[in-house]
Each structure stands twice: as structure tokens, then as C-alpha cells.
Amino acid sequence: MRPADHHPTAPVPEHETVGGVQIALVIIGVAICLPAFITAAEIASALGPRRGLIAVFGGGLVLSVMACLTGLIGQRLRLSSYMIVLHTFGTRAGRFINLLLSLSVLGWYGVLTGMFARAVLALLGGAAAGPAPVSDAGLVIWSLAGSGLMVATTIFGFRALDKLSRLATPLMAALLVYVALLVTRDHAALLAFSGDDSLSVGRGLSITVGGLSVGAALMPDLARFARRRADVLIAAVLAYGVGYPLVMALAGLPAMATGQKDLLLMITGVGLGAIAMTILILSTWTTNAFNLYSCTLVLGTMFRSQQSWRLTLTAGVIGTILCLGGIGDAVVPYLVLIGAVIPPIAAVYIADFWIIRRATGAPGAAAGPGVRWAAVLSWAAGPTIAYWADWQQLSVTHIIPLDAAIAAFLVYLVAGTLRRRRTQGGRAALPGTTSDR
């Protein structure tokens, strides 16, 4: 399978398509990463085993439905999410949406940079207390040094890092399985763990969705390589409905065994030392470099006159500021916010493709206005309505990402229907549409 940035603005040729299982393995490989471990620890320590499983598998169900609907669009059109978003929201607004999707990973960059610093200090025998590194000079120094290393690696040695990451992912998977086997020896204690009730099941489900909502919204980037519609469904269900929840379930076990939310304290709590810390350092390094790389690709489409190294450096500086600002203390609110903002983007272009354009008999146009206000305002309405409903205790599902997506979907349907009746016409079709398979 070709890289995600291959054919960024053109349809994927038929001879480059692959099967659904291969796509699913790529997504599961992405899911076996530190952000998933951190999210799982928050959910498990708050909800315990039974309610935690409901949250992660419920979130997986939401993500798999979302990925099926977005992925089928990518498979049908053979176009990247970048092009689909540009068309749905307009050329200027679409670039802003794509920028938002890309910059959303910088929050994780800040979290992981702080974790990198604490892991290095733990390996060297120094203190590693507190997720907000600004409180300690050693943590500040290593956060700055680690971020500099990640930026430099992205700029100068990304090909070598790509090979290194292929080693890091299996090592993280092996560490996950080993720790799970280690802590399940006392399975009675795990089953008796009830959690601290700092989250509701709905909130746990929300942060599960927030953890991979960007991936589900960008599913067309991978699904455009799928041979058939069935391959999209296989990939979405295996990756988001089964693989991701299983990773989350296994990653939550150490939190319940140790009573800790902090990943470093969990590792030391189950008796793992230098080897685990080394794997952790390697994983934070490679994950953040890939975050910078993906962010730089999108920034390059918006600021074409700027050299890529300047864009990488800028993204790294923003991520470092978030790190030093203590974003590690705000993982749950960050994930809830991402879960509220990203799914409505997908909901709008799902409604646009599957309902509005089908009703007009024309699936869309490659060129369009700078801003499609119906799409932009519908997207903005999604999280606004969801947060208001949550605040007023009027939530339909008690799951903020789902409420936000439903609201954006319905608002766009109404706006699109009114616009269609007013204009009494459709729009020209997107080029690159393949036959239904």
C-alpha cells in the first residue's frame, strides 16, 4: 500500500488498490501507540473493568460506523479526505478545516514531549513527578531537548525514523501483551476494581471516540486504496470496532492493577524498569516525529512559499509551548473537545455526499466557492448544540461526539434541502467517481 500522501489531489489508479485486511492492519498499527495507552488508563482508572469495556467498545462502535460512511466515500471517489473536505466546505474554508485536523495532533505532541522528558529522567535516575514539566527545571530542559530532537529528526532523518518506527510498534505491542499477562495473574483483584468514578460511561465513550476521531474522519485517505466496498467495511469494523477497543482494553489493565493513571508510574508499579522506559522513549520519539510530518504536509498546502523545514519548526514550537503549558494535565478535556469538534466535520461531508447530492442527482463539483457557508455553519452548530445540551442535561445520547455529529448532520440536511428547493438545481459531479462495487 502506498503512503497516505500518494495521489493527494488525484484519484487512485485501480491497479494500486488493496484488500480490507491490509488496510485494517495499518490502522491497528497506528492505534498501538502511547496516546491510546494514556486514554485507556484514564478510562480504566475511572470506570473499572465492566463499565470501561462498555466505554471502549461503545466508542469503537461509533468510530466504526463513522469510518464505514467516510471510507465508502473515499472508495467511491478514489480521492483523499483533503479533496473531499475542500469540495464540501469550499476551497478556503476547506483548507482551514484540513489545517484544524492536522493541528489537532499537536496537543498529543505536547503530552508526549512531556512524557519523553519524564521517561529520560526516570531512566537516568532523576525525578519524574507530575505530568506538567514546567514545574521542574530538569523536565523543562529534557522537554526542550526532546522536542529539538524530534524536530531535527523530522527535518533531516525521517527515512531512518520510518524504519525505526517499524521496530517501535512491535515492541510497544509486545510490552502491552506482556504487561497484560503480568497483571491478569490476580484477575480477581482486577474484577473487583470499581474505579474512582471521575468519569461517567458517556464521558469515557466520548474520550474513546476523541482518541481516534481524526483517523475516522480521514478514513478516505486509506479507503481510497480499497478494491471493493466490502474491503472498506472489513477494514473499518476490524480496525475501529475490534482492534482499537482491544488495544484500549489491554492498555487499561495496568491502571486497574496499580491504581495509577500515569503511564510511567504504571510501568514502575508492575515492576518494569529500564527496558520498558527505553521502549517508551523510542515510541514517544517516533510518534511525535510522525505527528510533525503529517502536520507539515498540510501546512505545506496552505503556505506553499514557505520551506518545509520552517513549517516543521513552527509546528514543533507550538507543540512544545503546549507541553510547557501543562497540557499533560488536561488530557481528558482535550480529548472531549477533539471528540466534539472532529466528528461533525465527517458528519457534514457524509450528509453532503450520501443524501444532498444524491437527491440532486449529482455527486458534487471539483471546483466551488471559497466558503460553503451551509457546511461551515452546520459544522459549527454540531459541538455548540452538543455542549449546550450537555450543560442543560438535554443530551439525546449522553455522548458528546455522537450528539455533535447528529446535530451537524441534521442542520446540514435542513440547510441543503432548503438550498436545493431555492435553486431547483443540482451541482456538477466530482471527477474520479468509480463504479459501485
Mean pLDDT of the region 296-319: 84
State the pTM of this model.
Answer: 0.79
Q: Which residues are CB-contacts of 45 (< 8 A; sequence separation ≥ 6)?
A: 195, 196, 198, 252, 255, 256, 259, 260, 261
Q: Which three cell numbers stand for residue 404?
A: 455533535
Label residue 158 left, alpha or beta by phi (over 0 means left) and psi (-120 to 50 means alpha).
alpha
What's the pLDDT at 72? 94
Local confidence band at 437 (pLDDT 50, 70, 90 cut-offs): very low
Q: Domain extents for the chain?
A: 14-422
Residue whose C-alpha is closest to residue 32's, from 138, 182, 179: 179
- The pLDDT tens digits of the residues spanning 60-73 come to 999 999 999 999 99
Q: What is the DSSP string of 135-195?
A: G-HHHHHHHHHHHHHHHHHHHH-HHHHHHHHHHHHHHHHHHHHHHHHHHGGGHHHHHH---
Q: What is the dihedral of CA 59, 73, 81, 425, to 10 degrees?
A: -120
Q: Which three cell numbers stand for residue 420?
A: 436545493
What's the pLDDT at 21? 87
Which residues on neighbouring strands pair with residue 18, listed in sequence order? 226
Q: What 3-state class would DSSP assign to 86?
A: helix
What's the pLDDT at 6? 54
- The pLDDT tens digits of the residues spanning 61-115 come to 999 999 999 999 999 988 888 888 888 999 889 888 988 887 788 888 888 898 8
On the question of pLDDT at 20 being above 60, the answer is yes
What's the pLDDT at 187? 73
What's the pLDDT at 23? 86
What is the rounded distance in angstroms from the CA atom of residue 236 to the CA atom of residue 240?
Answer: 6
Mean pLDDT of the region 260-278: 72
Amino acid at site 224: R
On the question of pLDDT at 432 being above 70, the answer is no
What is the rounded distance in angstroms from the CA atom of residue 109 to the CA atom of residue 325?
Answer: 12
Residue pair 15/159 in contact (Cβ under 8 Å)? The answer is no
What's the pLDDT at 129? 45
Under CATH, what is the fold of the domain 14-422?
A: Hydantoin permease (1.10.4160)
On the question of pLDDT at 9 being above 70, the answer is no
Please count the other Cβ atoms lying within 10 Å of the Cβ belonging to residue 410: 16
Residue whose C-alpha is closest to residue 378's, from 415, 346, 353, 403: 415
On the question of pLDDT at 424 being above 60, the answer is no
